[in-house]
């Protein structure tokens, strides 16, 4: 016959069902707390990385746009058998000749165009050009393209007149009608992630510079016009 002491010794090493259930509940709660802390920390790291990447892209875009616009060259084009300054600006993009393009390591001249397509700001550069094809680029012209900025809601370009700095910013600029270049270009970007307010930059054209400086005169005779025409060709030949 089994004694009471023997039965107690037989039951001692085991766990009751209630103890097992309580242990599983406590373990699950601890696991959930650890996972939640890890998940929150991981999300914070990813958010910080995305914010840093967006800030870096904005710094790069700001540097490129600012450098190219500031270095706008007062370049004259041949248009309808006449000589006309070259600068085309709209609210969703602009085109001009810059002395600081991304191509050629930032040297020489290039036709720089910014345009918005599919929610992206596209940068286009054309190195081989002549005064005759500025306003009418050939279909076969070689153009280098790159996405400069994305992830925004709207982007807007505005233009400040050289002699009317108190009249506000214009939504468009055609150098043929305005008979010259704007004094400055303003860029406004809305809806950028991690930016609580619109991103705005006002960039002066160094050759025109906010209402001061001498007016730039167009070539007066055919010899000067010929020199202007060969300027871009000589750069292409140097290639």
Q: Is residue 132 part of a domain?
A: yes
Residue 32 has what pLDDT?
82
Q: Is residue 16 part of a domain?
A: no
- Does this model's pTM top 0.85? My answer is no
Q: Is residue 182 part of a domain?
A: yes
Q: Is residue 194 part of a domain?
A: yes
How would you write the pLDDT of the chain (239 residues) with one tens digit per residue? 555 555 555 555 666 877 777 888 888 888 888 877 777 776 766 666 666 777 788 888 999 999 999 999 999 998 777 899 999 999 999 999 999 999 877 788 999 999 999 989 999 999 989 999 999 988 888 999 999 998 899 999 999 987 765 568 999 999 999 989 999 999 999 988 777 889 899 999 988 764 444 455 555 554 444 444 444 444 434 44
Residue 182, by phi and psi: left (phi above 0), alpha (psi -120 to 50) or beta?
A: beta
- Residue 204 CA to residue 189 CA, distance in Å, equals 18
Residue 201 has what pLDDT?
93
Q: Is residue 216 part of a domain?
A: yes
Residue 39 has what pLDDT?
73
Q: Give how many domains the chain has, as a whole number.
A: 1
Q: Is residue 2 part of a domain?
A: no
Range of the domain at 158: 50-238
- Assigned token pair, 53: 């990447």
Q: Is residue 179 part of a domain?
A: yes
Residue 11 has what pLDDT?
55
Q: Is residue 41 part of a domain?
A: no
Residue 24 has what pLDDT?
82
């Amino acid at each position: 016959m089994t004694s009471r002491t023997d039965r107690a010794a037989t039951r001692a090493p085991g766990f009751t069902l209630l103890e097992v259930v309580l242990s599983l509940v406590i373990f699950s709660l601890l696991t959930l707390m650890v996972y939640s802390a890890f998940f929150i920390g991981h999300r914070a790291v990813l958010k910080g990385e995305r914010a840093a990447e967006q800030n870096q892209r904005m710094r790069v875009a700001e540097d490129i746009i600012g450098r190219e616009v500031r270095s706008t060259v007062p370049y004259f084009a041949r248009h309808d058998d006449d000589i006309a300054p070259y600068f085309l600006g709209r609210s969703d993009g602009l085109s001009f000749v810059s002395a600081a393009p991304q191509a050629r390591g930032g040297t020489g001249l290039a036709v720089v165009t910014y345009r918005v397509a599919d929610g992206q700001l596209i940068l286009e550069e054309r190195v081989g050009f002549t005064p005759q094809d500025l306003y009418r680029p050939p279909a076969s012209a070689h153009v280098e393209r790159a996405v400069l900025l994305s992830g925004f809601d709207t982007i807007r370009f505005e233009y400040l007149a050289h002699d009317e700095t108190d009249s506000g910013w214009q939504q468009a600029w055609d150098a043929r009608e305005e008979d010259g270049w704007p004094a400055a270009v303003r860029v406004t970007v809305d809806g950028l992630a991690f930016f609580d307010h619109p991103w705005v930059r006002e960039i002066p054209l160094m050759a025109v510079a906010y209402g001061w400086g001498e007016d730039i005169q167009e070539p007066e005779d055919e010899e000067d016009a010929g020199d202007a025409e060969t300027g871009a060709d000589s750069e292409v030949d140097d290639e």
